[in-house]
Amino acid sequence: MYSFVSKTYVHTTTEWLSGCPDAIYLSSIWAEKGSCGHGTEVLGELTRLCDKFDVSISASVTSFDENISEEKLLKWYLKNGFQLDSTYEGESFEMPEVNYIPLSRQL
């Protein structure tokens, strides 16, 4: 498990997916001060690194902040290049999964 804190106080936690040397799971990403673009900046850097090293990202859309709904968080991930997992069926009790596919695999 790897943790990262940026200069803008955005915290991320990632881990390699078992048996997948080219995929990570984004366990958490949160900013000490929300709605300032810092989380977007850090997520952008993470996706740039994944593009560079051909690594995909998976994440559960789970809000740890009462001010951000899962719906808003899902829209944020989608706006930042993630795709809704094709196995998600929209059940109300199930948190959607999102995936980021590196550019080299999108062609």
CB 43, CB 8: distance < 8 Å:
no
> Which carries the bigger pLDDT value, residue 83 or residue 3?
83
The backbone torsions φ and ψ at residue 84, rounded to the nearest 5 degrees and listed phi first, read -70, 135
- Candidates 44, 23, 28, 2; CA nearest to 101 is 23
| CATH at 32 | 3.40.630.30
- 12 burial (CB, 10 Å; 0-12 / 13-18 / 19+) is buried
The mean of the pLDDT values for the chain is 82
> Domain of 97?
2-106
Query: pLDDT of 57-92, one tens digit each?
Result: 999 998 888 888 888 999 999 999 999 887 766 665
Indicate the number of domains in the chain. 1
- Host H or E run for residue 41: helix 38-53
% of residues, the chain, pLDDT over 70: 84
- Host H or E run for residue 3: strand 2-5
